[in-house]
Amino acid sequence: MTIADSRPALARVASDGTVKVTQSFETGVPFFVWAEVPLWQQVPIPPDVRSFEELESFVPKAAAAAGLDADKPLPFVVDGRERLIDFHIAGRRHK
């Protein structure tokens, strides 16, 4: 479940292996993070951060440099335009 600008998007893998995205709050999710951030701190992502792994390494370093505890969960937003977005769908399989 992703909520951006108050619009929900729930991605699920269908039985045929395709990804189906629905726009509804009428669902359950295995984990969810909610945060109200009064003022976001903007930190540019360096151009050499080009993969998910590099972003995963950069975020805690940027958080620590901004005075945040990088060992605790923290909300962050990645803003920009990209030609391709790769995403991960986490879920359980029911038998």
| Tens-digit pLDDT string for the chain (95 aa) | 777 777 888 887 788 878 888 888 877 766 666 778 888 888 999 999 988 789 889 999 999 999 989 888 888 888 777 676 666 555 544 44
Contact (CB, 8 A) for 4 and 23: no
CA 21 to the chain's CA centroid: 15
Phi, psi of 43 (to 5 degrees): -130, 115
79 Rama class: left (phi>0) / alpha (psi -120 to 50) / beta: beta
Q: What is the pTM of this model?
A: 0.56
Give the pLDDT confidence score for residue 84 in this predicted structure: 64
